Structure 1
Amino acid sequence: MKYIRSGSFKRLFSFGRRSTSSLEDSCFNEEDEDKPNYSQVYSLHSQPSQKPIWKCYSFDEIFVATNGFSPGCCIDNGLYLLFPFSPWGSVASLLHDASIPPMEWKVRYKIAVGTAKGLHYLHKGCQRRIIHRDVKASNILLTQDFEPQISDFGLAKWLPTQWSHHSIAPIEGTVGYLAPEYFSHGIVDEKTDVYAFGVLLLELISGRRPVDSSHQSLRTWAKPFLKRGDIEKLIDPRLGSTYDDLEIRLLAFIGSICIRSSTAWRPTMSEVLEIMMNGEIDKERWEMPEKEEQNKEELWDFEDLECEFDDTSSYSTTSLHDYSISTGSS
């Protein structure tokens, strides 16, 4: 674990994506029993990419500065979050890598449930409510046994108990996961994360990216199928028939109510977990008045978001399919 990314609230220990044998050799010994098998299904270095713009520290420097990697520490007066090394990388790196076999359904379902529990903890379990603001597949790391860990708290906000929401400028986040009220008005609350979680569920079900190469959002693509109940057409074709039909329909239902334009008709993460744990789809409880749904949809459509997405734009981009956006001034 050799790099610390600087310049934000989050400091995440992880590898840069440099597909060089020297990087692997510098961090693993041949005798290390925990070294992943690179010849197996999931490769840690599937594609070469640019050198990360991260500051490099030696292992000894990090060990001393973190008091032996103790949870919660300060380095150069900054606040750092320490994570165990994630050998499988992020959900996005496994889900969207065409060079490796598709992620199994049981792993996808485990990621969905674990992420829901993590967001519920941020919203309800912490002393002060935390809104992540950038929930996405590339910000969910996977442990050795594919347990999801929410990472990158660079955009996270505290929300005081007495506040129902918070108005924020500039607007920051990742296109495809941005809730309409946040992108349009800068309004942030727990439902901001709920919306992004809904997109993540559709991503796990379909295997599609949140924004495709034609700039169509996953939400826009999926909504007609969800409305008609054609769940089969949402399912990642690479899964074949190797999935649990009840689980996939459950996650599709949860995703459909999480991505609603109306925050009032989106569930909380507590309600999401309740649905998951009970395993029951109560459509009557979550039925939204058709007139209200139409009015909300008229006010917001992702395709109305006209941006030029390319690697030389003023937005902070990480890849063609992962647009990080920042508007306004701080």
Structure 2
Amino acid sequence: MVREAIAVLLDNKTLVQDNFPAGSEVADQVIPANITPGHSKRLDWYEVRPKDAIDALGDINFDYSQKITLAYERGPKEGLTSYQSLASQIQQTLISYGFNVQLKPLYSGDYKKAMAEGTEMMFIGMLQPQYLDGAAFYELAFEREAQMFGNTYPEIVSLLQQTQAESSDRLRQDAFDKLNQKFKDLVPFVPIGHFSESSYVRSGNANALANAYYENYEDISNLAHTIQILDMDRPLSLWPADETDWNTFRVTRLLYDNLVETSFGSNEIKPALADSWSSNSNATEWTFMLRYNIQFSNGAALDSNDVVASFVALWDASSPNHTGRTGEFKFFRQLFGGFINEK
């Protein structure tokens, strides 16, 4: 009830307009409008209705004197100038309705620790999907890092698993519609806005495109035949399997190829090493057909054994190639649950 009341009091349109980069989308659901299956066309977020919210809080004898802390991570963040301005605006809005809200800025290490332990009363955070699918917008918050919200939401997890189990777009959208409605009913958190990272390219560079994660460096051309890239950080390593840093991936994706990849300029999945693929009826078994005559940089031919060896290096903890910078293989563990032959 309290979270729903706060959702009704906050004007997301103003918050996005004042704090998000140009072109951002006001969130009416967890999933952005351009992700299908996923976003529900006939479901809107709560309207701003202060009187209804105050009346509802009065019905449950809400204690306005209790201190509510609003935590956020200090410093500039990708997409937003800072969380501080957004937090201050939310604080002032709630104070104007009688709430006792105090800001709690945390340094990065303390913020991450608090999120891991689920100790914060209220907090501002950013969820970045790890792949372009509606389920990815829920997985991080309710499966992989659910502890940040303290309590679990079994109804949401159950509906999320239904979206993951279906291969039909129509049936998946039906499941997403139920999931999005359940999220609105329970209000585990208040979605404010969606934004995409921006890439800037000098006018002398041709053919530049970007998707949700990367730029197409390999296709960019100019008269100098040289591309200079300014990124936030240098790569942490050149072996992407045990990394979670997108700046690292921007470089390593030029060194390694995938079976499939995300298109530039759209959300479509397109062929890479595989030119076609198919699954069984419940999407638990997939078959990829490799392109003909693919060669490594040393001239050796690629075949299915090389693909298997690559997966073994990731999946089999007993493999001598199962090594990395941290040894955690965090993304793989989150996506697939764990490893085989793990001690």
Q: TM-score, length-normalised on structure 1? A: 0.27
Give the TM-score normalised by the residue count of structure 2. 0.27
Greater C-alpha radius of gyration: 2
